[in-house]
Amino acid sequence: MTFNEEVQSSEALQTTTGAGSGIEGRSPWRLAWERLRRDKVALASGVVIILLVLIAIFAGVISDLIGHPPKQQYYDEGLTEAGVPIGPNSQFWFGTDNVGRDVLVRIAYGARISLFIGVVASGIATATGVLIGILAGYFGGIVDSILARTMDVVLSMPFLLFAVALAAIFSPSLKIVIGVISFFTFASVGRIVRGQTLSIKEREYVEAARSLGASDSRIMLRDVLPNVVAPVIVYASLLIPIAIIFAASLSFLGLGVPPENAAWGNMLAGALQSYTVAPWLFLFPGGAILITTLAFNLLGDGIRDALDPRFERLMQHGSED
């Protein structure tokens, strides 16, 4: 049973049992939450994400407690006499970079930038993809042809080449990074929503609403949109780590966030100068990217299994066979 069918069966159960029957039907969202709570990996990933969010929010507090601003260069304490970065010690827990800045503080500020880009770019891409996917799937015909071909063109465009072209025209900035990532990721959401809408618009309750004189906008908002929420939530949770990786890649190539900002991609790019004598310059920002993307991916897998338990059962039966 899919999530949409579970929604309808739950509503039917609550309608037929009534208030006085003593049987209380549980909503599919509550059932999904109960499944998610039993997934220890997803819960652990959620805890990690919450910790990352807290680090990002309180990056300034961490900087004040340590006493090292993110852009402060400690030439005397943070570099050796030969100009080599200092390794992790009691004063600089994650060591220093090539110009004597505290790596720990910059990791915290980098979490703020990465999570902001990931959430905002994914939110824009998801909202755009949902709008275009519903319009294409519901109206069909020439509207579907134009919007579907547009999404195909976007998916076929090489990401890095397009980013390089934009960087040649505009200077690196946070807005350009968010815009590029949103543009290259909305089409995948749109194709999923379009496929769901094509199936939903043929259902009996949609035909009934149309026969009663409901407008197209009302049907899309009241009947179609609620039934595509579950797959959109799953895909949006998996889209955030993709956006974080894209942002780090652009910054590493010098096409993303301005180099003076404490972005994880910028830190990895700076580590190229002295990675042989200061491996922690790769280890800590690379580890931060790995932990963040892995946590979001595992949480997304848990949400998917909670909303569609049939998929997990099919996978288990397939492995047994």
Domain-embedded: residue 21:
no
Q: What are phi and psi of 227, to 5 degrees?
A: -85, -5
Place of tokens 């799953």: 234
Domain-embedded: residue 11:
no
Domain-embedded: residue 14:
no
Tell me, what's the pLDDT at 311?
45
pLDDT above 80: residue 40: yes
pLDDT in tens, 237-273: 889 999 999 888 888 887 778 877 888 888 888 888 7
Domain-embedded: residue 149:
yes
| Cα 31 to Cα 36: distance, rounded to the nearest angstrom | 9
Mean of pLDDT over the chain:
82
Instruction: Give percent above pLDDT 90 in the chain.
Output: 24
What's the structural domain count of the chain? 1
Q: Which domain holds residue 47?
A: 42-306
Q: What is the pTM of this model?
A: 0.80
List the single range of 77-81, 184-188, 317-321 with lowest mean pLDDT.
Answer: 317-321
Please provide the size of the chain in residues: 321
Q: Is 214 left (phi over 0), alpha (psi -120 to 50) or beta?
A: beta
Domain-embedded: residue 313:
no
CATH number at residue 126: 1.10.3720.10
Distances (CA, A) of 275 to 80, 92, 272: 16, 18, 6
List the single range of 104-113, 153-162, 231-240, 311-320 with lowest mean pLDDT.
Answer: 311-320
| Cα 252 to Cα 70: distance, rounded to the nearest angstrom | 19
pLDDT in tens, 160-190: 777 777 766 777 788 888 888 898 889 989 9
Q: What are phi and psi of 26, to 5 degrees?
A: -95, 135
**What is the residue type of 172?**
P
Distances (CA, A) of 201 to 258, 282, 285: 46, 50, 46
Q: Which of 150, 104, 134, 119 is nearest to 197 (CA)?
A: 134
pLDDT in tens, 95-130: 888 888 899 999 999 999 999 999 999 999 999 999
Distances (CA, A) of 155 to 57, 182, 185, 314: 34, 12, 8, 29
Domain-embedded: residue 315:
no
Domain-embedded: residue 220:
yes
Average pLDDT over residues 145-173: 81
Are 172 and 256 spatial neighbours (Cβ–Cβ below 8 Å)? yes
| Cα 92 to Cα 253: distance, rounded to the nearest angstrom | 27
Are 216 and 225 spatial neighbours (Cβ–Cβ below 8 Å)? no
Degrees (nearest 5) of the Cα angle 159, 169, 156? Answer: 20
| Cα 127 to Cα 55: distance, rounded to the nearest angstrom | 27
pLDDT above 50: residue 23: no
pLDDT in tens, 55-74: 999 999 998 998 888 888 88
| Cα 179 to Cα 172: distance, rounded to the nearest angstrom | 12
Average pLDDT over residues 78-104: 85
The 3-state DSSP class for residue 102 equals: strand
Higher pLDDT, 220 or 316: 220
| Cα 312 to Cα 108: distance, rounded to the nearest angstrom | 36
| Cα 119 to Cα 116: distance, rounded to the nearest angstrom | 5
Domain-embedded: residue 270:
yes
H/E element holding 199? Answer: helix 174-200
Tell me, what's the pLDDT at 269?
86
Higher pLDDT, 51 or 98: 51
Distances (CA, A) of 268 to 97, 107, 173, 230: 10, 11, 18, 36
